[in-house]
Amino acid sequence: MQALEEVWQTADEAGFAAAFTFDHLVPLNAGARPNMPIGVPDGPQLEGWATLCALAARTKRMQVGTLVSGITYRPPIVLAKMAVTLDHITRGRAILGVGAAWHEVEHKMYGIEYPAVGERMTRLDESLQMFRRLFTEKEVTFKGKHFELNSAVFDPKPVRATGIPLLVGGSGDRLKNIVARNADMFNSFAAPWEWEAVNQDLDARLARNGRKPSDLMRTAFIFSDLSGDESKERNLLETFQKNRGGTEEEVRRRIVIGDPDNMISVLKGYEEAGIEMAIINLRPPFSAEEVARFAKEVLVAFN
């Protein structure tokens, strides 16, 4: 936890726009735990929201949130209360990142209900509608297929009159329709050369819902290794190829590794593709020194 605190404080002081925790109950990083299901590597995992509040309280400038909270883990009203509490802790810097949830092994391990994808999407859609209304209306009545509110009051309201920004992460046709109706921010793993088509598709869906392209911020999740260690960089490159495919040249154009000029070049590719926020995934173990060096040598090119 101390290492995380140092990284977040360093990032905050260095001018990073936002920082996120992820919201899982087991690690997702590479590893092997004997006699456990595939997809559950070894190592400890802190709870995402408690960790987020602790880290956010040690920052002054960055926006903060989860990337992203599966809608299956908590009742929506509880998640909304957690988000507005974070918003007040940070004096208006919270982002509420949500998704339909995907880690089936984790759900089964802990006995958490894991509905079919169609039901999870409906739950996400209804939750986003409720979040928006709870954040901005005095009293809310809502009746959906899975959730309902009956003259529900919600105080305190978010610090910002417009509410807490709603970030949705994921892919697929139905999810993009949900995004076009309800989200303020969209997050995807898409490569720089894939974003033109993604953005055109999103813009068309936004228009059908009476919204403008500027109503939805586009954010990219980008794998990285900031250590400068060639063996670790090679491991990331090979792991990415194994899990997501692509030639070595293609992978090098979409992950952040190598010298500062190469990192800047990759990030410029995302910027030119219309990405407004590049979210760099830090691979543990990481250090505040790596983050400070990245800010000095790479982030400065975007300020």
Give the tens place of pLDDT for each residue, 125-137: 999 999 999 999 9
According to the model, what pLDDT value does residue 105 have?
85
Q: Are 239 and 28 in contact (CB under 8 A)?
A: no
Give the pLDDT score at 37.
53
Q: Provide the domain limits for residue 22.
A: 2-185
In this model, does residue 243 exceed pLDDT 80? yes
Query: Does residue 220 sit within a domain?
Result: no
What is d(CA 33, CA 88) in angstroms, rounded to the nearest whole number? 39
Render pLDDT for 131-155 as a digit per residue (tens, 0 to 9): 999 999 999 999 999 999 999 999 9
Q: Is residue 53 part of a domain?
A: yes
Does residue 169 sit within a domain?
Answer: yes
**Res. 32: pLDDT tops 50:** no
Q: Is the pLDDT of residue 13 over 70?
A: yes
CATH assignment at residue 94 = 3.20.20.30
- Amino acid (one-letter) located at 257: I
pLDDT at 283: 83
Does the residue 229 lie in any domain?
A: no
Query: Average model confidence (pLDDT) for the chain?
Result: 94
Residue 24: helix, strand or coil by DSSP?
coil
In a domain, 302, yes or no: no
User: DSSP for 71-89?
Assistant: TTSS-HHHHHHHHHHHHHH
Q: Note the pLDDT of residue 34.
A: 46
pTM (2 decimals)?
0.93
Is 233 a domain residue? no
Tell me how crowded residue 263 is: count the other CB atoms within 10 A of its CB: 21
Residues contacting 141, CB < 8 A, separation 6+: 149, 150, 151, 152
How many structural domains compose the chain?
A: 1
181 found inside a domain:
yes
